[in-house]
Amino acid sequence: MERKKSPVLSSILSLIIPGLGQVYAGSPSRGAAFFTAVAITALLVHWQGNGPLYTGVVVAWLWNVWDAYNLARERRISPALPFLVIALTLYIIGWRVTEINLRRLLTDVADVKPLVSNLFHPAVFERDIEKLVGEVQFESPCSDSPPPKGTPLEDEPYLVFVDKTCGDPGDTFTIEGGNFWPSSKGYIWWSNLAGEMQFRVRYKGNYLTFETDEEGRIPPITVVVQEPFAEAKGKGPQLYRVQARMQREVGSPHLSRTFFLVVEKMIVTIFLALMATTIAIFIAIPISFLAARNLMGGNPISMAIYYIVRTILNIMRSIEPLIMAIIFVVWVGLGPFAGVLALAVHSIAALGKLYSEAVESIDPGPIEAITATGANRLQTIVYAVIPQIVPPYLAFTIYRWDINVRMSTIIGFVGGGGIGYLLQQWIRLLMYKEAGAAVWAIAIVVAIMDYASAKVREIII
């Protein structure tokens, strides 16, 4: 006869530590469940520091006391209420930490418009660009012998100073010019003497533009003297180039440089997938035999090898290829080689597991029959094992190839080379038309490869 449990003691225990009363009442797993649920929720609510959310914890805690009381009286009550309360609390926290903000989807939709519209106008075609540049050299701050004002040229684009040719940052000066294309717009550029540091001059936030008259003359424009570049600070008077630039498209559209760059990187990407898959196949095949229980069972040493190989494969498989790529980028540097290594290592683990399962599911009958003829071990593998594993190996390899083609297009995002590297840079530089070309290329290539491998699969399996 079991000793009666005290409901009061049970409730008090659960009040002190959730679940303890349930353990006392002889339901340790129920107790553990309550403790874990209440403890995790309490910690999360505390971490969020949100007062009202404590209600959920309190409700669950009190309910747990009530449950302990009933358990001691040998009555089990449905835990639906605390379950719902805790679930609700967790979802509220989840909503907050993931910063879900449905309003932004509507209010900020304008931000994404240029991106989307550029994606549909990928930079596949372009026209040649013709440029005109005229320049003067400005000094800042002034020295004893400031530069000359310059003279108009006969038939080349030119600029000349109207008033001063030197000044401090923040001062203004005026320039004018001629021999540009008539009635067209252009921009003023500022650069150091060497020309490697340059930018378009802004005035009150907008780029400083000019428009030529019918004779191609630039009317006087006022330019603000720019702050010196970092390396010229405090070095005394420096010369700067002030340029007026114009450009226009000429000729008929032709395939763009972006297009050829995308094609080139796409080829690299496909080779990246090919190399990774091939390397993985050759390494995964022998490994798959070591990871097959039916081949490795029998003696303790081979069984130990089996467990070690299995464990390594499982660990390797749990590391995402993108993380793997980051490691290899640090190891062998940016570029496709890092991508090949990352995809290969992940594929070895994935294929090793799939292959070994194929080996494990083979019919032992033929092995038995061939062994019985007096064949040696190698002959038995060639005649009884290989014919059985070739079809599943092919199927898994094609499946992996599909995955690797997809992965290879984005492995570049973390520096693994190929089209992804380009795409990621273009997105960062807000070059959405170029990015659009890359996105389309990826979509087309992945679709073609999918279709091709489906066909191959039909034929050989």
Partner 1 sequence: MLRIEHLTKIYADGTLALDDVSFEVPDGEFLVVLGLSGAGKSTLLRCINRLIEPTAGRIIWDGTDITAASGEELRQIRRHIGMIFQEFNLVERTSVLTNVLTGRLGYVNPWLSIFHHFPKGEVDRALRNLDRVGIADLAHKRADELSGGQRQRVGIARALMQEPRLMLADEPVASLDPVLAHSILRYLEQLNQEDGITVICSLHFLDLVRRYASHVVGLKNGRVVFQGLPEEITDQRFKEIYGEEAERVTVT
Least distance in angstroms from the C-beta of 392 to partner 1: 11
Establish if 55 lies at the interface with partner 1 (CB under 8 A): no
Q: Please give the residues from 391 up to 430 whose contact with partner 1 meets the rule CB under 8 A.
A: 391
Give whichever of 2 and 363 is closer to partner 1, judged by the CB atom: 363
Least distance in angstroms from the C-beta of 381 to partner 1: 9
Q: Quick one: tokens of 375?
A: 């064949």
Give whichever of 182 and 387 is closer to partner 1, judged by the CB atom: 387
Q: Quick one: tokens of 71?
A: 């358990």
Q: Please give the residues from 209 up to 238 whose contact with partner 1 meets the rule CB under 8 A.
A: none
HSE-up (13 A, CA, CB side) for residue 169: 11
- Residue 68's closest CA among 16, 17, 7, 4? 7
Give whichever of 110 and 372 is closer to partner 1, judged by the CB atom: 372
Query: Phi-psi bin for 150: left (phi > 0), alpha (psi -120 to 50), beta?
Result: left
The strand pair at 238-255 and 185-192 is best described as antiparallel
- 155 burial level (CB within 10 Å; 0-12, 13-18, 19+): exposed
Least distance in angstroms from the C-beta of 456 to partner 1: 18
| Per-residue b or e along 373-384, where b marks 16 or more CB atoms closer than 10 Å to that residue's CB | eebeeeebbeeb
Give whichever of 214 and 458 is closer to partner 1, judged by the CB atom: 458
Is the peptide bond between 286 and the residue preceding it cis, with omega within 30 degrees of 0?
Answer: no
Q: At what angle do helices 257-290 and 300-318 cross, to 10 degrees?
A: 160
Give whichever of 448 and 461 is closer to partner 1, judged by the CB atom: 461
Give whichever of 182 and 297 is closer to partner 1, judged by the CB atom: 297
* Cα(265)–Cα(257) distance, integer angstroms: 12
Least distance in angstroms from the C-beta of 380 to partner 1: 8
Least distance in angstroms from the C-beta of 300 to partner 1: 13
Give whichever of 274 and 394 is closer to partner 1, judged by the CB atom: 394
Least distance in angstroms from the C-beta of 355 to partner 1: 17
Q: What is the CA radius of gyration of the chain?
A: 36
Least distance in angstroms from the C-beta of 379 to partner 1: 5
Residue with tokens 């040649």: 128
Q: Which amino acid makes up residue 235?
A: K
Give whichever of 42 and 389 is closer to partner 1, judged by the CB atom: 389
Give whichever of 240 and 355 is closer to partner 1, judged by the CB atom: 355
Residue count at the site for partner 1 (CB under 8 A)? Answer: 20
Furthest-apart CA atoms within the chain: distance in Å: 118
Least distance in angstroms from the C-beta of 388 to partner 1: 7
CB 147 within 8 A of CB 138: yes
Quick note: the x/- pattern for partner 1 over 353-392, rule CB under 8 A, is ----------x-xx-xxxxxxxxx-xx--xxx--xx--x-
Quick note: the x/- pattern for partner 1 over 294-333, rule CB under 8 A, is ----------------------------------------
Terminal Cα-to-Cα distance of the chain (whole angstroms): 66
Least distance in angstroms from the C-beta of 280 to partner 1: 25
For the chain, what's the residue count?
461
* Cα(240)–Cα(225) distance, integer angstroms: 10
Q: Please report, as ranges, the residues that interact with partner 1 according to CB under 8 A.
A: 363, 365-366, 368-376, 378-379, 382-384, 387-388, 391
